[in-house]
Amino acid sequence: MSDRPNILLIIIDQFRADLLDGGLARTADLKNLAALADQSCMFRRHYSVTTPCGPSRVSLFTGQYAMNHRAIRNGTPLRHDTPNLAREMREAGYDPLLFGYTDVAQDPRVLPADDPRLTGYEELLPGFTEVVRQRQETDDTAWRDLLRSKGYDVPDGMDLYIPDGDSIDSPARYKAEDSDTAFITDRFLDHMSSQAPGWFATLNYIRPHPPLVAPAPYNRMYDPDDAPLPARPEDNALHPFVAAVQAARPASGLVKGFPDLKATTETVNRLRSIYLGLAAEVDHHVGRVVEWLKTSGRWEDTILVVTADHGEMLGDYGLWGKGTFHDAAFHVPLLIRVPGRRPGRIEAMTESIDVAPTILDLAGRQAPESMNGISLRTQIETLLGGKSVTFSEHDFADPVNPTTLQQILGLSAPLSNFAVLRTDTHRLVHFAGPLPQIAFDMTGAGESRDISAMPDQGAICLDLSRQMLCHRMAHPESTFARTMVIDGGVKKGPA
């Protein structure tokens, strides 16, 4: 590998870890990603530190917990001076190229009130050079123009994602070679083929993010009857938050054109099979990228990182989307291939905030003090080490237009959030408001049974609470945590 490697970061939206390693992998046939995993360092217990899309990507790029960057919702602005991966890579001499989107709401303090960038959250993270814009809700003009040039009738807005038929697994109205996944891959390959060595690029795949609609043959690639059954709780006593999420976020929200869709067993299986098909489509195009790297002679000079912003419940425990505390919403893949390093699997836990410091380290640049994450370079080199706990957050409020969840639960915006602590053996969920804690014993019934109210589990829950408090106290916003202005000037202590 050259002294100045190429670095490619691929982010797959709403892609569960068990598509590659776990329950869904027993059905999903993702040959290209599986082959890449065998050639990479695979972090088997890697978790996003927040959801949904905007906050999770901010954490991934800034290396900060949501409690520190505070861009906690789709639409909550990120402070304009927050250090991030793109800016740091630019300082390291790279031109950070973006294919797709970053979902970062802009800081209104530094823009005119009538600036169009202050009309939606799907904006650009400062530091990136936007090569191809693909913003699903607000601006995917380039892709739509391509469809029109090929003779497609392209409806406005999200109606483009209504299946072309009377069933939820009817095909998309565009062919597989013209899909959004194919489009972004084509544009990436076209542009990067002329790039000089020593580049850094981020390639974003919106799939398998909803709406769940896939072009043929991916729409029916998997038999619904073969899809793994969703996880179920041991009893019907629902925690108030779970009951509220089930009511506020039904299965019909994952598809367009079927507002009265009911979550019958058949419907759930079909939705899960469409999701698998979309994942297979992404896998095909990741395979094209890997093949291009190899045939163009770039493979041995390119560090390749593949991850996801967050997961998807996909009907597990009767839940859909990523706005809950279960592992399926936060557990995502992380594959890092460094030429010359032996592949392997890391069993210890890691977090999405570790991705940016790792890429910076591999590029020869020290991560800024503001980043809470750690470099995983040592783990890549030794296949050992990791974290004893991971920490994730989710804010389910809207301070302007209160969410359905807020209204059901009767919570103000400051109280509408939760945090999750994971250890090797347990999970603790703590809510900011009056909702009761939740705890799971992952060596027993796992997420199927809440142990928090069991008398013999009180000491364990107390210790988990202590660990969560300690973790939060040890990871505050730290831009100047090691800096002192003293006699003699500005000094910094060791990391």
Answer for the pair 308, 15: CB distance below 8 angstroms, yes or no.
yes
Q: What is the DSSP letter of 342?
A: P
Q: Three-state SS for 406?
A: helix
Helices marked H in 150-230: 180-192
Q: What is the DSSP letter of 427?
A: E
How many beta carbons lie within 10 A of that of residue 466, not counting itself? 11
Neighbouring residues of 239: CB distance < 8 A, sequence distance ≥ 6: 435, 436, 438, 450
Give the closest residue to 358 by CA, choosing from 29, 41, 27, 35.
41
CB 91 within 8 A of CB 363: no
Strand partners of residue 305: 9, 336
- Under DSSP, the state recorded for 471 is H
Q: Is 53 an active-site residue?
A: yes
Closest Cα to residue 58, out of 77, 39, 45?
A: 77
Please enumerate in sequence order all residues whose Cβ is within 8 A of that of 411, keeping only pairs 6 or more positions apart, or say none.
397, 405, 433
Element (H, E) at 244: helix 240-248
CA distance linking residue 24 with residue 18, whole number of Å: 5
Smallest CA-to-CA distance from 330 within 305, 307, 356 is with 307
Of residues 41, 53, 461, 470, which has the active-site annotation? Answer: 53
Q: In what order do the strands lie in the sheet with 334-337?
A: 129-133, 96-100, 200-205, 6-12, 302-308, 334-337, 41-47, 344-351
Torsion angle (degrees, nearest 10) of CA 401, 404, 408, 412: -30
**Helical ranges in 296-366 per DSSP H:** 327-330, 355-362
User: Active-site residues: which are they?
Assistant: 53
